[in-house]
Amino acid sequence: MTDSPLEDTAFPVDVTASERVFDGLVWDIRRDTFDYNGSPVTREYMDHTGAVAVLALDDHDRVLLIRQYRHPVGLREWELPAGLLDVDGEDPLVAAQRELEEEADLRAEDWHVLSEFATSPGGNNEVIRIYVARDVSASHGDFERAEEEADIEVAWVALDDVVDAVLARRLQNPSLAIGVLAAHASRARGWATLAPADIPWDRHPKRRPAP
């Protein structure tokens, strides 16, 4: 170990060719060729917009969970409210607030950044920012839910009970697992690890400042 912080660092490479080889309904597949250690390397990956998720907590340290069907894994998963950053120019915090209203008919007054993670950095460029939302109330929104969202179930569950379910391998959604484990650890530290809700998202591959 060195004296520098333990952190992921940006590493620009010279991309010599880039093409979209599959144009999907939601995500595309891109093929890049780049120079690395003096040799050309070609990689294909899913090109993703990124996403946000919301860990909403009430005054009793209960977490808001939603359950919906996820076809690739054939499961009705318990998850955190979440959504894609697919509105051009939309601020991630605004997207998170919108998703909480659209999926759970809730709004929150207090927002902080809890965690960020890359879902599968060897195969896609998807990154997710998880917010903690508190001081929650009903939004009385009138959102028409369709497809997999049409039969969403909502539950408030004690944070410790959700952590137990993750550790027992009964829940596998990554945003949920990372979110509740991070919240559990942050709470033990007096929530000192939380960051302001509007901090720049420099580790998002599409928002990263130019070198």
Catalytic residues: 149
User: Which of 22, 12, 62 has the alpha carbon at shortest distance from 162?
Assistant: 62
C-beta of residue 106 within 8 angstroms of C-beta of residue 205: no
By DSSP bridging, strand 75-79 and strand 195-196 are: unpaired
The token pair at 91 is: 């601020």
Distance CA 75, CA 91 (A): 31
Other CB atoms within 10 Å distance of the CB of residue 191: 13
Q: Which two tokens stand for residue 134?
A: 């508190």
